Amino acid sequence: LDGNTYTDHTCMMGNPLYSDEVGKMCYNAAKNWQLDWYGGRGTQSQHKQLIDPFQTLTSTVELVGIGEYDKITANRYVVIKLETGTSTDIFIGFNRAAGPNAQNDEADDEVTITESGNNGEGYSQSYLKAHLVAGETYTY
């Protein structure tokens, strides 16, 4: 949340695990959008949803954490990309502390909001902007 490099401890890339003995941790929503997993690299798929607030004013979606990816059904997503109209976009995910993400280091079972450049389609530093529990909001 401080905007510094390697401080997003919801993501394996944020360097949160200082041990060779642990490591059940996944990537943040921005990296999950970029990766070729969940239906294609940087593209919308059955597990990734693109929302353009300039086209659709309100949306309701159901998120599934990486730790329970095997339980995904129709209209449930691993990651949501909010298009900003610039190359820097917002990515939303549910940081479920289960399965391959059981040793997550920050924001267990919370919605995470991450910002990243390059339209989420190639390498770019990502930044944790917020993590939310039920009833909390975030304004970009």
pLDDT in tens, 48-69: 788 888 887 777 888 888 777 7
Instruction: With H, G, I as helix, E, B as strand and everything else as coil, classify residue 21.
Output: coil
The pLDDT score that the predictor gives to residue 22 is 67
Q: Which of 53, 80, 50, 51 is nearest to 65 (CA)?
A: 80
Q: Rounded mean pLDDT of 66-90?
A: 84
Query: Residue 16 and residue 23: Cα distance in Å, rounded?
Result: 10
What integer best gives the mean pLDDT of the chain? Answer: 80
Residues 6+ apart with CB under 8 A from 76: 62, 63, 64
What number of other Cβ atoms are within 10 A of residue 4's Cβ? Answer: 8
The pLDDT score that the predictor gives to residue 49 is 81
Lowest mean pLDDT among 27-31, 33-37, 39-43, 56-60: 39-43
Lowest mean pLDDT among 7-11, 96-100, 107-111: 7-11
Q: Which long-range contacts (CB under 8 A, 24 or more apart) does 135-140 make?
A: 138/113, 140/82, 140/84, 140/90, 140/113
